[in-house]
Structure 1
Amino acid sequence: MGQARPNFSLLSRAGRLYVGVVSLAGLAVCSHSVWVVTTTDIDWHWMLFAALTVLGGAITIKVPSLLALLSVSEMFAFTCVLLFGPAAGTLTLAIDGVILSVRRKHRAHRALFNASELGISIWASSHIFFALAGTGPLYEQPLALGAILLPMGAMTVAYFLLNSGLVATAIGLEFRKAPLIVWRQHFAWLAPNYLAGAAISLLLLAALRQAGLSAVALILPLLLLSYLTIRTSLGRAEDADRHVAKVDRLYLSTIETLATAIDAKDEVTHGHIRRVQMGAVGLARKLGVHDDLTIKAIEAAALLHDTGKLAIPEHILNKPGKLTIDEFEVMKQHARIGAEILAPVDFPFPVVPIVRHHHENWDGTGYPDGISGTDIPIGARILSVVDCFDALTSDRPYRRRMSDETAMAIVLERKGSMYDPLVVDTFLAVYRE
């Protein structure tokens, strides 16, 4: 049970500092473990479990759509810890991390981080085990399995949280995402697999007491059979995932075609809707929106928010002057009409609410429903700001484009009345970057 590793290609200064600190701590822990192994009388059989851990690390399965890999290496590493102590377990997983990195042709700093975070995780968690169990390595001081269940559970939870947490933090720093969100999306679901690995290591420990090292030969075929079964199942899931991604791309291509037709009537360039789409999605991520369905909804709504303009007469839509009160009332209908046109479409994400409410105002004076504040969907609040700025800085039939400074001044003037203050502040910060 393992995780994918960050590649560090986009790390900020804080990210590089984090990786450096983890690597230094890992070197310290591994150096201490080498000293312990070489200066104390640890049975040489720990190297057998180190070899089995490396073998288990070589047999990995990629989980579709997640930054995660499955392997059985921790099972042997846990057994090594129980039998031979923290130092042997630390070196075992550190070696596994280095070999895995070499096999995948990782750069030196990435290999060092991988080995370090594994070493730190097992070193700290194994000390928790022996502190709670009140004993030393079980190879020479066997205890009843019932006496080590609680310490084993605590060690497994600690190892899982440290291992997944250290990796999720590095990935979060690399991709500018909150580490907790990365952890929830890609690693939280792995907890049962770690617990299963701990349970199997306890069974292996019991078998070793009864049959000696020959018990390993009995377990390996079962593990291989499980690996082949899981790989086949996940292979089918990956095929289905690719099909869904293909359908999703077709969906968005169809949406873009419709959006182009809409904008042709409105005499708006396709570049405008593309800029609004990219700006809205980027701003959403800066605001901490990481839910895939919400992001996809914003991406589609940015293209389709003016669908209702298909029902607006062209002499109003492209009038080269200010609209009359009656004409503006007709124009305002496009938000409601657009939502009604799109409502029968079975979107897999909430597009229609964004289309309906992208002209609502923060203070409740907008249309079509006059809702206010956070009752307005976050996608609509984001879209209204980005769309306004891009429209003001684009040429239209009835006026020349404004400068960025003038347009930003208008957006700031509308902060708290038309637009969500947080959205405006974040938009301004992104613009300044």
Structure 2
Amino acid sequence: MSRWLPIYIRLVVAIGVAVIAWSVPALGAMPHPFVWLLFATLALLTGVFTMKAASVSYTVSVTDTFFIASAMLFGPAPATITVALNTGIVSYRRRHTWERIAFNTAAPAFSMWVGAQTFFRLAGISPLAQGDQPIATLIVPLLCLTGIYFVLNTGLTAAAIALDLRESIARIWNMHFRWLSVSYLAAASVAFCLILLIQQVSLAAAAMVLPLLLIFHVTIRSSFGRLEDARRHLGDMDRLYLSTIETLAMAIDAKDDVTHSHVRRVQAYAVALAHAMGIVDDESIKAIKAAALLHDTGKLAVPEHILNKPGKLTPSEFEQMKLHVDVGADILSLVEFPYPVVPIVRGHHENWDGSGYPRGVSGENIPIGARILSVVDCYDALTSDRPYRPALTDEAALEILRERRGKMYDPRVVDAFIAIHLDVEVAADAPHQRDVLQKITRSRTAPAPAMRQEPAAASMSGDVLAFVSLARLASGEITLGDVFALAAKLMRDIAPGV
């Protein structure tokens, strides 16, 4: 949550309270108070039939019809009070916190007040309950009222959600609120019909509009149901694909005797560090998540005796080890990721002073995602058991990061990581995952039965092909059946005894 969110909420509430306080005295001069009370009561009754968008903290109902009609008939003040009463009661019934009730009351009330004031300034008339007006001249002002009410009401809510989630306001609004414009326009249309019936026939004749409101409510509820079903389905498929990729990536890690869950820890550290450094756009976060998971894919091209050598690598062995960066980046470049994964993978062994590999890039020319990944990957490697040494203590690992600060690693990234690393929560392996991975490791280290030796090049090409297809899964270009088939092959290649 952003530190600006409480300030923003208090500011909106203060403005809303001021508008409501201004509106209350104006009720005394309102024409036809009993008719207004009827509209306010209908708004409260229809407020019972609200529908919540599960993806965000927002509700939709047919009450906007009575809000807009109240504004046109009785003026800005009565409409503002009607909106405030309705939204406050609905929020209270949903057992929201007092802070949230205050915001949910103030933001719509302020939005309606601004919209209604604009309506009467453009129309140049008094409230319609005081006398008949040419209805055709009110269409443009009505559209302006509806548009301002919609943009302000949804925009204020989207801003609060964006501050809470540390995401872009425009992205939140486009994804979750833009489509509600149809609902607001429909409410304005029904309100226009309601006003027309009242002016041309009678208040009793306006009751003919009520069935339209029922149809409108049923239509919106049906649309919400389909949207939420689609959202849940996409979420379930996304979790299924990601868990499949993560499990297979962890299985590949078993080729290099690292502690299980290495990629999961690196991913958790990288995402937390990115947020701490102010990276909030969804595309960059997804790129860092994917790169953290896939950054060592190129180790498929490195022989196991080099990966797991207990001593120092020879110069020729180190040159072969360095190939894994370009190999991994080249494999992933075959996948059309919708976010920049490949530059992060290709740059995660570059150094701040330009002494890294494979390109010798330095400073700000290294992608920020790669700078983040290099620090968290190093920290996790230092604090994990390796074939050539036991795990270092947290303080010893941090001291190494401090020594490399400004040389290998971006100083800002190191400082931010040291500040937040203890607060990062990493989900533990599920027992069945841990058992499978341990079985793979035991099978790899067990003496292999005598068998015909396959050419090394063929074995490596099979591994690379399997991971290319795995990477294609990350971008949604492969079926789940293909994934399980490739998974079986990959398991056989890594652990022939499983």
TM-score by length of 2: 0.73
CA contact (8 A) 1:64 1:237 kept: no
> Which residue of structure 2 aligns with residue 407 of structure 1?
400
Any residues of structure 2 matched to 1:99-114 within 5 Å, and which? 99-114=89-104
Shift of 1:228: 2.0
> 1:163-206 CA deviation, whole Å, 9 max, x = no partner?
22332333334334454543344334434433443343223322
The residue aligned with 1:222 is 212
Which residue of 215, 221, 232 maps to 1:231? 221
Partner SS for 1:139: helix
Could you tell me how far apart the structure 1 residues matched to 2:368 and 2:137 are?
A: 52
Find the partner of 2:118 among 128, 131, 152.
Answer: 128
Shift, 1:290, TM fit:
4.1
Report the equivalent of 2:349. Answer: 359
Partner of 1:95: 85
Trace 1:195-206 onto structure 2 (pairs within 5 A). Answer: 195-206=185-196
Q: Identify the residue that residue 6 of structure 1 maps to in structure 2.
A: none
The CA distance in 2 between the partners of 1:393 and 1:132, in whole Å, is 68
Task: Pick the structure with greater CA Rg.
Answer: 2
Deviations 1:32-68 (A, max 9, x none): 3222213544432112221232233322333463444
Residue in 2 that maps onto 1:263: 253
Contact 1:255 1:300 in 2 (8 A): no
Contact 1:255 1:304 in 2 (8 A): no
How far apart are 1:368 and its partner, in Å?
4.6
Is 1:279 the counterpart of 2:272? The answer is no
Q: Counterparts in 2 of 1:17-416, with a 5 A limit?
A: 17-63=7-53, 65-292=55-282, 294-341=284-331, 351=341, 354-360=344-350, 367-368=357-358, 379-399=369-389, 401=392, 403-414=396-407
What SS does the aligned partner of 1:120 have?
Answer: helix
Instruction: Answer with 376-385 or 103-112: which moved more.
Output: 376-385
1:403 aligned counterpart, secondary structure: helix
Distance 1:209 1:46 in 2: 15
Q: Secondary structure at 2:254's aligned position in 1?
A: helix
The 1:187/1:427 distance shift into structure 2, 3 A limit, reads farther
Cα offsets for 1:136-176 (capped at 9, x unmatched): 21211433234333333333333223222332333334334
Whichever residue aligns with residue 101 of structure 2, its letter is: A
Q: Do 1:361 and 1:367's aligned partners in 2 also have CA atoms closer than 8 Å?
A: yes
Q: Deviations over 1:226-273 (max 9, x none)?
A: 332332243233223222222222222222222222222222112432
Change in 2 beyond 3 A, CA 1:39/1:209: closer
Structure-2 change in CA distance of 1:347 and 1:193 (3 Å): same
Task: Give the Cα–Cα distance (whole angstroms) in 1 for the partners of residues 148 and 359 of structure 2.
Answer: 51
SS at match of 2:33: coil
What is residue 496 of structure 2 aligned with on the other side?
none
Structure 2 counterpart SS, 1:62: strand
In structure 2, what is the Cα distance between the partners aligned to 1:388 and 1:145? 71
Q: Which moved further from structure 2: 35-44 or 104-113?
A: 35-44
Structure 1 unaligned segments of length 5 or more: list them: 1-9
Contact 2:270 2:289 (C-alpha < 8 Å) held by counterparts: yes
Gaps of 5+ in 2: 424-498
Check 1:150–1:291 CA distance in 2 against 1; reply closer, same or farther (3 A cut).
same
Q: CA deviation at 1:430?
A: 4.3
72-81 or 141-150: bigger deviation:
141-150
Q: Deviations over 1:284-317 (max 9, x none)?
A: 3344544545534432332221122133112221
Q: 1:56 to 1:376 in 2, by over 3 A?
A: farther
Q: CA deviation at 1:94?
A: 0.7
Aligned letter for 1:328? F
Percent sequence identity over aligned pairs: 51
Cα distance in 2 for residues equivalent to 1:295 and 1:268 = 25
Question: Matched residues in 1 for 2:2 and 2:361: separation?
Answer: 41
Cα distance change of structure 1 residues 188 and 365 upon mapping to structure 2, 3 Å threshold:
farther
SS in 1 for 2:59: strand
- Secondary structure of 1:285's aligned partner: helix
Residue 5 (structure 1) aligns with: none
Q: Distance in 2 between matches of 1:148 and 1:410?
A: 71
Three-state SS of the structure 2 residue aligned to 1:268 is coil
RMSD of Structure 2 on Structure 1 (CA) = 3.3
Contact 2:259/2:385 (<8 A) preserved: no
**Residue deviations 1:61-104, cap 9 Å, x none?**
33463444332222220110011011110111011112211321
In 2: Cα distance, 1:347 partner to 1:178 partner: 21
* CA deviation profile, 1:374-411 (whole Å, cap 9, x unmatched): 77665434322321333344443334526254233245
**Number of corresponding residues:** 420
